[in-house]
Structure 1
Amino acid sequence: MTGTLYGLGLGPGDPELLTLKAHRLISGAQVIAYPTPDTGESFARSIAAAFIPDTAREIPIVIPMRSERFPAQEVYDSAAEEIAAALEQGQDVVVLCEGDPFLYGSFMYLYARLAERFPTEVVPGVSSLGAVTAAAGRPLIARDEVLTVLPATLPEAELEAQVRKSNAVAIMKIGRHLTKVRDLLEGLGLAERAVFVSHASLPEQNVRPLREAPETAPYFSMIILPGRDAHV
C-alpha cells in the first residue's frame, strides 16, 4: 500500500481561513512539502506553521526568486522524486499551497508527475480572488457579467485586448508589472473603477484606489476592475 498525496489549499494567508479539512490533514501529517524561495521563509509554511506536528518530516521545494529563467522542470522533477519515495514507503504526503492548488498553483506540476502513480486528493482553499474582493468591500460581478482573470505578466498588447473586451477583470501577479497595468488602465479610462489590494487577509493588508497605489507592489497583490452592475 502506498501513501496518499494531498494538494492542500491554505487560503490567502490568514490561518483562520484554513478549511477544517486542511487543518485536520496538516495536524496529522507524516510528511509535509511546500514551496520556498531560495532566500527568506516559505509563505505557505508560515500560514500552516502553528499546526505542523513536531514529528512531521518536511520537504522544502526551493524555487529561485529571480527574474531570469531557472530550471523549473528540474526543481519539480527533484521534488516529485523525493515525494514519491515517501509515498512508496506508505507515508501520506501533504503539499502546502497558497490560495487554491489549481488556481495558478504550483501543485499542478507535482500533480502532473505523481497523480497517475499514487492516490491523490486535491483539497481546495479560499482563493485570493475571494480574499481580495472581501478586503476591498467591493462585489466583483453581478447578473450576467463575465469575469476575466488575467496575469499581469502578459505582454501589454495582449493584456489591453483582454481588458477591452471584458465586463469585469481581476489582474493577478502584479509585482513589478504595476506601472504597466496602471498606465494601461489609465489609458483606457478605467482607472477610476480599479482597486489595488496587496496581502489580502494579512495584518499588512493594503487596500486603496488604483490611483493611490504605491509605486512598487509585492507579487501577492491584485488589481480588480468590478463590473458596472456590481455595486453596493
Structure 2
Amino acid sequence: MKGILYGLGIGPGDPELLTLKAVRLISENEVIAVPGEEAEETVAYKIAVQAVPQLREKELLAVPMPMTKDPGVLEENHEKAAKKVREYLDMGKNVVFLTLGDPTVYSTYLYVHKRVADAGYETEIVSGITSFCAAAARMNMGLVEKAEPLHVIPASYQVEEALKLPGTKVLMKAGRQMGKVKEQLKELDASVVMVENCGMENEKVYRSAEEIPESAGYYSLIIVKENSDKGEK
C-alpha cells in the first residue's frame, strides 16, 4: 500500500498559529519534507519544531526549491522533488510536506503536489493560516468589509494596473522589486502598511509607504486599503 502526501500549511511564522491538525500530522508521521537545501536550517523547520519538539526525531527530507523564474530550472527541480517524494510513498510511508502560510496560496509545494497527484498517488492539502490574514491581525485591522473586494497580488511582477483595482490589495513577494513597488505606493491615495517576517523573532512593522525599506526581506507583506472617505464616495 502506497503512502499519502500531505501538503501541510504551518502558518506565517508564529509557531502558536499551527493548527491542531498540523501538529497531529507532524506527530503521527515519520517522514517530514521541508523546502530547502538543509532541512534543519529551513524557516519551515524552525517554526514547526517550536510547536512540535518531536520533529527533531523525524526523518527529514530536504527538498531544494531555487528562487528563480527560469522555467527550465524550475521544471527540473520540481520534477526532482516529486521523484524524491514518490520514492517514500512507494515504500508505503506518508510524507508530510511543510509549507509556510497556506499551501493553496502561491506555494511552491503545489508544483510537487500536482506531479505526485497526476502520477496516481493519494494527496491531501491541509490549510494553514495565510500570511495576509496574520499580518492584518498583527496590525489590528480588518482586510475587507461589506462589499469590498480583496485582491492578492504577486508583487514581483507588474503591479501598476493591479493597484488601480477597487478594494483592498495584498502585495506578496515583492523581493527585488520592492523599490519600484514603494514608489508606486507613495503615489496612491490609500493607507499602506507592511509586516516583515510576521510572527517571527525579527518581525518589523511599517505603517506607511514612506517607511518601507527597499531592502525589505522576502517574507514581507503589504496591505493597501482605500481611504475610507474615498470608499464612501
Q: TM-score, normalised by structure 2?
A: 0.89
Structure 2 counterpart of 1:79? 81
Distance 1:224 1:187 in 2: 15
Structure 2 counterpart of 1:222? 221
Structure 1 stretch 143-152 or stretch 162-171: which is displaced more?
162-171
Structure 2 counterpart of 1:167? 167
Residue 63 of structure 2 is aligned to residue 61 of structure 1? yes
Structure 2 counterpart of 1:185? 185
Task: Please report the RMSD computed on the Cα atoms of aligned residues, expressed in angstroms.
Answer: 2.3
Q: What SS does the corresponding residue of 1:188 show, helix, strand or coil?
A: coil
Shift of 1:217: 0.5
2:65 is matched by which residue type in structure 1?
Answer: I
Distance 1:166 1:16 in 2: 34
Q: What SS does the corresponding residue of 1:226 show, helix, strand or coil?
A: strand
Q: 1:40 to 1:123 in 2, by over 3 A?
A: closer
Residue 18 of structure 2 is aligned to residue 15 of structure 1? no
**Contact (CA 8 Å) 2:169, 2:225: kept in 1 or not?**
yes
1:102-122 per-position Cα deviation (integer Å, ceiling 9, x unaligned): 101111111111114111111
Structure 1 stretch 65-74 or stretch 220-229: which is displaced more?
65-74
Q: 1:23 to 1:38 in 2, by over 3 A?
A: closer
Q: What SS does the corresponding residue of 1:160 show, helix, strand or coil?
A: coil
Structure 2 counterpart of 1:104? 106
Distance 2:21 2:31 in 1: 16
Shift of 1:189: 3.6
1:119 is matched by which residue type in structure 2?
Answer: E
Q: 1:67 to 1:105 in 2, by over 3 A?
A: closer
Structure 1 counterpart of 2:210? 211
Distance 1:198 1:7 in 2: 24
Distance 1:85 1:28 in 2: 20
Shift of 1:175: 2.3
Shift of 1:90: 0.8
Shift of 1:66: 6.0
Distance 2:227 2:135 in 1: 18
1:205 is matched by which residue type in structure 2?
Answer: E
Give the paired residue count: 226
Distance 2:186 2:79 in 1: 42
**Contact (CA 8 Å) 1:33, 1:95: kept in 2 or not?**
yes
Distance 2:98 2:39 in 1: 18
Q: What SS does the corresponding residue of 2:41 show, helix, strand or coil?
A: coil
2:112 is matched by which residue type in structure 1?
Answer: L
Shift of 1:228: 4.0
Structure 2 counterpart of 1:148? 151
1:205-225 per-position Cα deviation (integer Å, ceiling 9, x unaligned): 111222222231001101111
Structure 1 stretch 79-88 or stretch 65-74: which is displaced more?
65-74
2:156 is matched by which residue type in structure 1?
Answer: T
Distance 1:89 1:68 in 2: 33
Structure 2 counterpart of 1:33? 33
Q: 1:111 to 1:67 in 2, by over 3 A?
A: closer
Structure 1 stretch 44-53 or stretch 78-87: which is displaced more?
44-53
Q: Show structure 1 runs of 5+ residues with no match.
A: none
Q: 1:183 to 1:54 in 2, by over 3 A?
A: closer
Q: TM-score, normalised by structure 1?
A: 0.89
Residue 127 of structure 2 is aligned to residue 129 of structure 1? no
1:129-164 per-position Cα deviation (integer Å, ceiling 9, x unaligned): 111101112212111000111111112xxx111111
